[in-house]
A and B are shown apart, each in its own frame.
Chain A
Amino acid sequence: MGLKENIKYLFSYKLIGESLIKLNTKKSYKNFKPPKNWRTDILAPPLKTGVFTKEIITRHYLEGRYVNGVKPVAWVTSGAPIEILKALGFYILYPENHGALCGARKVALEISEEAEKRGYSIDICSYARTDIGSTLSKKTPVGRLPKPDLLLCCTNICQTVLYWYRVLAEYYKVPLIVIDTPFVYDEAREHDIEYVKKQLEASIEVSERVAGKSLSFSKLKEVVRLSKMAAELWLEIMNANKNKPAPISVFDQFIHMAPIVEKRGDSETVDFYSKMLDEINDRIKNGIGAVKNERKRVLWDNLPIWYKLKFLSEFLAENGVSVVASTYTNAWGELAPMMDIERPIESMARTYIYPILNRGTGHKLKTMETMVKEFELDGAILHSDRSCKPYSVGQMDQRIKLLNELGVAALLLEADHSDPRAFADEQVISRLKAFVEMMD
């Protein structure tokens, strides 16, 4: 690791950047008020602890600008088993999360066009297009992304990542670790878990070589413990919505889930969610709902539509509809109980084989049915995401079953998580309005 890079990192990030960001957070927390265009007539003010979400993510991307040459850098898929890398001191970048950020900042289209211009099809996942476009053009709303020294691709979310990460491996000429997770139809078989465990064990040697140091098992256990704690807190935050009115809408969860995805295994992430849970419990105590006039409660299935969060959240809130549960945000909490600090590698194998996208469509239906009952829901919005086929497959049947078997209104909404070309305001509003009228 270079001296020049270290000095720059210490000076620009640690000394100036980080201090300024922290100071800013302190100020915003103290003088907290909702943004000017916040619809206080229909929505509760944003969570005060949300200023820390912003801080954590801003610091993360700022560190990324100066981190090459200081820490080893890994690019990983969203459901990747990162605990080993974390224990080895890697800086971890999630291109999917960066894609979501580009979507929310409404620059995903411009960046994915950079990939399309070079021949990548419009039918490829918009996260992949955004990442490849950003890699090739260096365009990003966060200033600069660090170059990877290692790539970690886990197939527990989709097969696209396999091809996407091969493109990255060829472009950056760095090692690629693939963790292949067999599909779980009902329950994972022991030899499937063994197979994943062996791959995790094999990945240690490559990761150690790139990091230039050996893995400490006590450090790994500590990371698994922190990962588990944060995920448990996140689960508790989501379950708080069983209260009526629901204290935190799913649209808020979409924003505040960033640390559980990107900063899992850090102690500050645990502190952050613990603070957030306190604020949410206060809301429950005072009967504050995320949507002021909560008349109807619904669930959201599939990824968010990042560039339309405000639009959708406000439209639904205007109609007294609160989105209180989602299969997507749930995915980062539901597996927490599987993590076992005493058997880190084996429990990682088990945890990372079970994400919702690596399981049969019947499992997702069951998850939604349980949500309908436990969160006392009136309806379900199923976002049919053009970019995420594994998440969208089965939704036609799931929708009919929710309707016929549980008697809740269910709407299939066609869009894309970050490509705005797949979204038509008028069409979406006319469907959502009819959906609301159906629940009345």
Chain B
Amino acid sequence: METVKSIGIDAGSTTLKIVGVNEEGKILFTIVEDADPKVEEQTESILNKLKENYDIESSKIVATGYGSNLIKADKKITEITCHAKGIYEHFKSGGTAVDIGGQDNKVILISKGGKVIDFIMNDKCASGTGRFLENTAWRLKIPTEKMAELALNSDGEVKISSTCAVFAESEVISHLSRGEKLEHVIKGLHRAMVKRITSMIYAIGFNPPLMLSGGVAKNKAVVKMLEEELGEKPLIPENPQIMGAFGAALLGLSK
């Protein structure tokens, strides 16, 4: 049975991510599940199941994310520090880390030595976050995963002027009722979201490379448009969703 030295738990607004690492910081397992409102019970049952295959008796537990207060952990560290750590260790590079999550966007400037120089998060408004696309996907009864595909294959684009996720929904409906093509509208929706993120990146001062994390980094249309807007190809980890939990696990290793 392999010994897990440290476990990072990222209890986000939408998903729960758990990563275990060994002494060298190598990932032993990753778990991603939709977040349950009772995240403490959810975490406990996951950890209990893990005991069947791993030795987690002496593991350090570091929690991050909005739900972290509910989780029993040795340490609680903010998403900013955890994402920066995860991204930095993954790419071994400083630069601009952008995490597009379910309700939060974070832009983090990381120094060459891996220190957080500065960060901003979206305030008071979830436009430009995953919820922005999810809302409309749900309203149009399209699976979220299909949204990117429709946008990528679209030969046109409709301008969505509302930055509010709630108002964008009605704007989408009115475009469709005027006979605009579905894929054009969806591409426009992606563009509105990407522009919002781009303006956050510029507000903090863009310093390449651009490194993406968070569930939305799996959306290929968002990635392509970010490249168009910034003129820089984003670096994306194989599993962008777990970067915060990975960083948390690594922070559990440090004394």
Chain A residues near B (Cβ < 8 Å): 384, 396, 400, 403, 409-410, 412, 414, 422, 424, 426-427, 430-431, 433-434, 437-438
Contacts and interface: CB of A to CB of B under 8 A. Distances in A.
Contacts of A424: 124
A422 B119 CA distance: 21
A412 B66 CA distance: 19
B123 A414 contact: yes
Contact of A427 (B118, B123, B204): B123
B124 A414 contact: yes
Interface string B124-136: 1000000000000
Nearest to A437: B81
Interface of B: 66, 77-81, 116-121, 123-124, 203-205
A426 B66 contact: yes
Nearest to A413: B123
Contacts of A427: 121, 123-124
Contacts of A433: 78
Contact of B80 (A384, A412, A422, A434): A434
A412 B78 CA distance: 17
Contacts of B118: 403, 409-410, 438
B94 to A, nearest CB: 15
Given A410-B118, A437-B81, 7 more contacts: A400-B205, A412-B120, A414-B124, A424-B124, A430-B79, A434-B80, A434-B81
B66 A430 contact: yes
A430 B123 CA distance: 11
B253 to A, nearest CB: 17
Contacts of B120: 412
Q: Which 8 A-B pairs have the closest CB atoms?
A: A434-B80, A414-B123, A434-B78, A433-B78, A437-B81, A438-B116, A414-B124, A403-B118
Nearest to B79: A430
Contacts of A431: 121
A403 B203 CA distance: 13
Nearest to B77: A437
A437 B123 contact: no
A410 B204 CA distance: 12
Given A414-B124, A433-B78, A438 B119 contact: yes
Contacts of A409: 118
A430 B124 contact: no
A386 to B, nearest CB: 9
Contacts of A412: 120, 123
Nearest to B205: A400
A434 B205 contact: no
B124 A437 contact: no
B196 to A, nearest CB: 16
A406 to B, nearest CB: 13
B117 A403 contact: yes
Centre residue among A384, A403, A424 by max chain B CB count within 10 A: A403
A400 B119 CA distance: 11
A412 B118 CA distance: 11
Nearest to A384: B123
Contacts of B116: 434, 437-438
A396 B203 contact: yes
22 contacts: A403-B117, A409-B118, A410-B118, A412-B120, A412-B123, A414-B123, A414-B124, A422-B124, A424-B124, A426-B66, A427-B121, A427-B124, A430-B121, A433-B78, A434-B78, A434-B79, A434-B116, A437-B78, A437-B80, A437-B81, A438-B116, A438-B118
